[in-house]
Amino acid sequence: MLLLRFLMKAEAIVAAAAYAATTLLLLADVVAREFFSQSLWGAQQTAILCSILAGMIGLTLATGRGAHFRPEFADGVLRFKAIDRIGDLISAVLFAVIAYYAVEFVLESRDFGDRVPVVNLMLWPVQIVVPYAMISSAIKHAIFALNPQAKDELRTA
């Protein structure tokens, strides 16, 4: 449980820093364009990369807090104690499968030498956040399936 709390705090710090960087880069670019008639080279592309990082890490934070949007119309259809555990187990498996394909995607991007337009950075190091987010979410759902109290403890932490 301590590991999950640490992970959530670290992910929250990374997401907040990425959102702050996105905001500062875009603000600086607007100021440069409005006052100096020239945009900051690579600011918009870097802001996009930061927002991708923030969004993917946000997925893991939402998983940990149980904050995903979900339909509630069928909540009473299946009424037995293990339904939450089964849901978390299915989610863990789905995230793990998606993580596998995300790793394949990143490796292929690396092999092809894909680059970010304008700033000409290798794309695969940025894409690593996708498999990370899927693996982190899979682990969290697996822990929740094994220990449902962990979910409640993380929501209140």
pLDDT of residue 134: 98
pTM of the predicted structure, to 2 decimals:
0.89
Place of tokens 């399936």: 145
For position 71, what pLDDT does the model report? 66
Confirm if 49 and 91 have CB atoms less than 8 A apart: no
What does the pLDDT look like over 78-94, one tens digit per residue?
677 788 888 899 999 99
| Terminal C-alpha separation, the chain | 11
Low-confidence residues of the chain: pLDDT under 70: 70-75, 78, 157
